[in-house]
Chains A and B, each alone.
Chain A
């Protein structure tokens, strides 16, 4: 049996004001401080469409190869919920703004997980809709607190067809989507902050047979959890079926602590949303080009596709190709550079300020920098070492002023004491490379003299033991020597 995964993604539109009202959009503002009369659904208020939100949806549609509907419609979806004050959500059920798109994404396969596999998933539609407010249940005092700051913020709902087969694929697709949205500036796409919310529709079946009964998995707040939740759910459903059970069509919540999905108390299963056209909003028209805007309509006041196409930035896939071609780096590395927010800029900055080969720089960025960032759970922007400082360090190593092993040591020192310059650290800890031949001779002599047994063994023909002597030199000099030079001197002395 195999898993089948489709996704429903809610992306909060990055805009200064809400979809149908002038109130501001801000994360973590004091509760109910960003609520207009319309957001609180005061009677007599009417929705007024925010053009910026439409443009964001069109840009996103274009980036995802969608057909942009020249005319789309708004509908009301009814249900009672405390954080949805109007008793309905304005959405685009019948004719959404964009349809029939495609998202191309890649993930890694193979034992070392370095084989790039590129796949695609169809985007059924992108629809504009209102976000809800937030409810906070206080079980102890048996009350619900409501914050309407988020109520009415613009959302793009993207529906991805059930064409993925596992958590990893879904995670890769969502990661790619995040990058695209961030590049477009249409959504900040931070899952932890709720700017991107992903629900997964999961089912299992035998290939060639009709799709199985699906469950909807919610409450997933990171890409990592998405993969986990889906894989757990696929496994669970398979076990249910193998033990002759039945998969129920239900909504399940992912519990990040246990890594399980658990059934949600689900009232929506039987919900009839009683959809109805939104009578207060005329059809939404977008125009192909300035020339197609009808007379009497100010082109500056409407959404024109041509104008938006011209604004499309470099998308992640194009970036990766460019990085591979420009810097000669591995394709897998181009993914790391693009997928980590800010890493590509960091890398390019270092490359520009150092004489070192980009291929050497990539090692520093991916091993040292990312290693440290990951172990401390930091973002690239939080790195204590700036691209300039790293470039300086690489330059010292390149020019032979410090050894490469020292350089790694210095990197860790810089991480701990970001206020110090590379030069300061090297000087303070006396890490400059010993390039003086006489001094090197002296040190090697001392080591040879203090290890007579080893010298005997080497002289008898076991050259391997020379490495031990080299190690002693390194220890004595704290790695400040060039191994090639040291080996040459030692070989001469023992021969």
Chain B
């Protein structure tokens, strides 16, 4: 029974925000001069282009936010789980609303499979449990969705590839099963880049995912084009999951994160996205991209919810030998937490070419917030980070080449009709089944793994990986608790702009801030902080120490409370507000 009340969270949030403003006024002219902050961050933070929270004192805020009432939707599922238990809303009602919302927002193309029927049955069972006072836990009756590269028993699992079109796994991934065992209601499988290879959710056989924020009034009012041609990408590869949470058709969603695939779309769609420590969550049933970096990711509307889900999903799984025992964690994130005990590192290498001014402004704004609140903020260096993306590319391709070898059309999945010989069948099956992106990575991977190339590519990349890991270790050893970085270079690109470059280029650009963490196996979380000029979310990433996921989330929770990120309002869609209001009204009616 953790769930904090809305009022509590809101008041904390206000307090934080006020303190921030008070501090600013002290420094005079709204300029933040922070001692520990790197000069490039401090200077820019005061610039007129700085993106601020909704209560920003800037005369003409470049970024805008929805009205403050939207704040009530933070921690939605915690609230909802309480509402469920109090009988203010039923699980079937919630499930129906989510499925309606999926259908209403079908243009986002966030879902590949909608499991309406089984979801309603699950919701019914949840209602029965809740009615008899025996809920399975905080997630009982809560609708969730799952990226379509997690196996779901008796439910199609496609990886957005022709290769697995129509494939129905006979078992569920451990993380999916754990949610089901908790009574959570699976509403659907979400869209992605084919086999999770991409950073835009634009390269799957079911077509691209659209960013819900490009259907808000704010975005549409700025656009001169029609909604079908001007829209932003969701980010990827877990774009469908991020869009599902952002568009309020799920309270939580599972993504996978290999180089940023959960954090990137989480960031671009303005949801909280956690990439836990490698090994903390089981990969059993997650169709692999890079086994040594893949982690199931958690996407929610609030840090608090992410913590609730993490607590349920973490821990050793005998079916995944790389899992570790989870450190013991309290039932919920601490409400009172002294940020002054925390030392925040700002890695200077993350001040990278191509970083948008909006994003940089957010980075400096939040860094200043930490500093103003009494946290120690300090510039740090990760000298090998610059080599990370190319090494990541080599290792990724190698494992892809290996992991994709099983798709030969014999046991399952697509099989070519060419059967003149086994080899011919393999070749055509794989040619027909995989898209260009997958095939290119397989080709590169096989090249890197050739006996004559192995030392030059794979071994070198692994050596560099160790140096990158060492860099991070050293930083944490020096007393840093968390690193604060941008998650992406900028807000979400327009689809038509994004596809001007190929997948390989985009992945290299988009993963630049996210993939070093995967190389080192560390936990990281992205939290939306504000909207850009275009009305699209900008998020920041916090990176923690191995197995210190809880501490990371504690800091993220604090940060979330300070930034006042606005709630989404889809253009011309009043129904979602109805859903929201229905919960809220009931809360108020019965609660007071």
Give the CA-CA distance A272 to B151 in the complex, in Å. Answer: 32
A282 touches B170 (CB 8 A): no
Q: Which of A43, A48, A273 contacts B287 (CB 8 A)?
A: A43
* CB interface residues, B 381-408, toward A, < 8 Å: 398-399, 401-402, 404-408
A258-316 contacts to B (CB < 8 Å): 272-276, 279-282
Stretch at the interface among B218-226, B318-326, B525-533: B318-326
Q: Does B288 contact A (CB under 8 A)?
A: yes
A47 and B321 in contact (CB under 8 A), knowing A78-B405, A87-B405? yes
**A274 contacts B283, C-beta separation under 8 Å:** no
The docked-state distance in angstroms from the alpha carbon of A76 to that of B407 is: 16
Give chain A nearest CB distance to B402 CB in angstroms.
Answer: 6
Q: A78-B402, A87-B406, A279-B399 are in contact. Are A48 and B318 (CB under 8 A)?
A: yes
Residues of A within 8 A of B322 (CB): 279-280, 282
Whether A40 contacts B151 by the Cβ 8 Å rule is no
A49 sits at the interface (CB 8 A): yes
**B446 x A274 contact (CB < 8 A):** yes
Which of chain B's residues have a CB closer than 8 A to the CB of A272? 450-451
CA distance A78 to B406 in the complex (A): 10
Give the distance in Å from the alpha carbon of A146 to the alpha carbon of B412 in the complex. Answer: 14
Chain A nearest CB from B430 CB (Å) reads: 10
Q: Is B410 an interface residue (CB 8 A)?
A: yes
Q: Across the interface, do A45 and B284 meet the contact criterion of CB distance under 8 Å?
A: yes
Q: Known contacts A42-B170, A276-B398; is A86 also within 8 Å of B410 by CB?
A: no
- In the bound complex, residues from chain B placing their C-beta under 8 Å from that of A37 are 170-171
| Interface flag for B169 (CB, 8 Å) | yes
> A42 with B169: in contact, given A47-B321, A80-B408 (CB under 8 Å)?
yes
Given contacts A44-B286, A144-B422, contact A80 B405 (CB under 8 A): yes
The secondary structure that dominates the A interface is loop
Residue-wise, chain B 128-156 has the 8 Å CB interface mask toward A (1 for contact) of 00000000000000000000001100000
Q: Tell me whether A40 and B411 are in contact (CB under 8 A).
A: yes
A49 to B284, CA, bound (A): 14
Task: Tell yes or no: A185 within 8 A of B by CB.
Answer: no
B410 touches A85 (CB 8 A): yes
Q: Are B411 and A85 in contact (CB under 8 A)?
A: yes
Cβ of A275 to closest chain B Cβ, rounded Å: 7
Docked complex Cα distance between A88 and B405 (Å): 7
CA distance A255 to B348 in the complex (A): 69
Give the chain B neighbours of A40 by CB distance below 8 A: 411-412
Task: Determine the chain B residues whose CB is within 8 A of the CB of A336 once the complex forms.
Answer: none
Contact assessment for A46 and B320 in the assembled complex, using a CB-CB cutoff below 8 Å: yes
Q: Point out the residues of chain B lying under 8 angstroms from A49, CB to CB.
A: 321
Interface residues on A, range: 20 to 34
**B458 proximal to A (CB < 8 A):** yes
Inter-subunit contact A276/B406 (CB<8 Å): no
In the complex, how many angstroms separate the beta carbon of A38 from the nearest chain B beta carbon?
A: 9
A41 within 8 A of B: yes
Write out the residue numbers on chain B whose beta carbons fall within 8 Å of the beta carbon of A82. 410, 422
Q: Which residues 421-452 of B have a CB within 8 angstroms of A? A: 422-423, 426, 446, 449-451
Q: Which residues of B contact A41 (CB under 8 A)?
A: 406, 411
Check A274 against B450 for contact (C-beta < 8 Å).
yes
| Cα(A121)–Cα(B451), bound, Å | 30
* Interface 1/0 per residue, B144-176 and A, CB below 8 Å: 000000110000000100001000011101000
Q: Return A145 CB to nearest CB of chain B, in Å.
A: 12
Q: For A37, A43, A76, A276, which residue has the most chain B Cβ atoms within 10 angstroms?
A: A43
**How far is it, in angstroms, between the C-alpha of A40 and the C-alpha of B319 when the chains are bound?**
16
| Residues 467-488 of A at the B interface (beta carbon under 8 Å) | none
Roughly how many angstroms separate A40 CA and B408 CA in the complex, as a whole number?
12
B319 touches A48 (CB 8 A): yes
The reply to whether A281 and B321 contact each other, CB–CB distance below 8 Å, is yes
Contact with A along B295-336 (1 / 0, CB 8 A): 000000000000000000000001111100000000000000
Within 8 A of B (CB), among A22-66: 37, 40-49
Task: Decide: A279 near B292, CB < 8 A? Known: A82-B422, A86-B406.
Answer: yes
Contacts of A279 in B (CB 8 A): 290-292, 322, 399
Please indicate the chain B residues that have their CB under 8 angstroms from the CB of A281 in the complex. 321
How many Å lie between the Cα of A82 and that of B398 in the bound state? 22
* Size bracket, chain B contacts: 35 or more
Residues of A within 8 A of B350 (CB): none
Q: Chain B's nearest CB lies how many Å from the CB of A262?
A: 22
Q: What residues of B have a CB within 8 angstroms of the CB of A274 in the complex?
A: 401-402, 446, 449-451
A276 in contact with B449 given A46-B319, A49-B321 (CB within 8 Å)? yes
How many residue pairs between the two chains, A and B, have CB atoms under 8 Å in the bound complex? 96
Least CB distance, B571 to chain A, in whole angstroms: 38
Task: Find out whether the CB atom of A46 lies under 8 angstroms from the CB atom of B451.
Answer: no
What 1/0 flags go to A121-135 for Cβ under 8 Å of B? Answer: 000000000000000
Is residue B285 contacting chain A, with contact meaning CB distance below 8 A? Answer: yes
Chain B residue at minimum C-beta to C-beta distance from A40: B411
Task: Closest B residue to A86 by CB, please name it.
Answer: B406
A contact residues around B498 at 8 Å (CB): none
Cα–Cα, bound, A274→B286 (Å): 24
In the complex, A85→B409 CA distance in Å? 10
Instruction: Kindly list chain B residues whose C-beta atoms are within 8 Å of the C-beta of A76.
Output: 402
Q: Which of B151, B401, B410 contacts A44 (CB 8 A)?
A: B151
Closest to B292 in A: A279
Q: Mark B465-490, 1 if CB is under 8 A from A, else 0.
A: 00000000000000000000000000
Report yes or no: B321 in contact with A275, Cβ–Cβ below 8 A. no
Give the CA-CA distance A265 to B150 in the complex, in Å. 41
Measured in the bound complex, the distance between the Cα atoms of B288 and A339 in whole Å is 49
CB distance from B173 to the nearest CB of A (A): 6
With CB as the reference atom, state the residue of chain B lying closest to A267.
Answer: B423
Contact B410–A146 (Cβ < 8 Å): yes
Alpha-carbon distance between A151 and B550 when the two chains are bound, in angstroms: 42
Kindly provide the distance from the CB of A337 to the nearest chain B CB, expressed in whole angstroms: 45
Contact partner of A88 (CB less than 8 A), chosen from B151, B320, B402, is B402
Checking A146, A275, A282 against B449 with a beta-carbon cut-off of 8 angstroms, the contacting residue is: A275
Q: Which residues of A contact B164 (CB under 8 A)?
A: 43
Whether A46 lies near B321 (C-beta < 8 A) is: yes
What is the bound-complex CA distance between A392 and B87, given in angstroms? 88
Q: Given A45-B284, A48-B319 in contact, is the A280-B449 Cβ separation under 8 Å?
A: no
- The B491-536 residues at the A interface (CB cut-off 8 A) are none
Given known contacts A86-B406, A88-B402, is B422 in contact with A43 (CB within 8 Å)? no
Contacts of A47 in B (CB 8 A): 321
Q: A272-B451, A274-B449, A276-B458 are in contact. Are A46 and B402 (CB under 8 A)?
A: no
Assess the B411–A42 pair: CB atoms within 8 A. Answer: yes
Complex-state Cα separation, A280 to B411, whole angstroms: 22
What is the CB-to-nearest-CB distance from A151 to chain B, in angstroms, rounded to a whole number?
Answer: 10
Cβ-closest chain A residue relative to B445 = A274
Contact with B along A107-151 (1 / 0, CB 8 A): 000000000000000000000000000000000000010100000
For the complex, give the distance between the alpha carbons of A428 and B150 in Å. 78
* Docked pose: A82 CA to B424 CA in angstroms: 12
- Cα distance, A494 to B398, chains bound together (Å): 100
Complex CA gap A45/B422 in Å reads 25
Minimum CB–CB distance for A440 against chain B, Å: 81
Are B292 and A44 neighbours in the complex by a CB distance under 8 Å?
no
Chain B residues within 8 Å of A43, by CB: 151, 159, 164, 169, 287-288, 406-407
10 residue pairs, one from A and one from B, having the closest CB atoms: A87-B405, A274-B449, A279-B291, A279-B292, A43-B287, A41-B406, A44-B285, A44-B151, A86-B406, A44-B287
20 contacts between A and B (CB under 8 A): A40-B412, A42-B411, A42-B412, A43-B164, A43-B169, A43-B288, A44-B169, A44-B285, A44-B288, A45-B285, A46-B319, A46-B320, A48-B319, A87-B406, A144-B422, A274-B401, A275-B449, A275-B454, A279-B292, A282-B322
- Chain A residues close to B by CB (< 8 Å): 37, 40-49, 76, 78, 80, 82, 85-88, 144, 146, 272-276, 279-282
Inter-chain pairs besides A37-B171, A80-B408, A88-B405, 20 sampled, C-beta below 8 Å: A41-B406, A41-B411, A42-B171, A42-B412, A43-B287, A43-B406, A44-B150, A44-B284, A44-B287, A47-B321, A82-B410, A82-B422, A87-B408, A274-B402, A274-B451, A275-B451, A276-B449, A279-B399, A280-B291, A280-B321
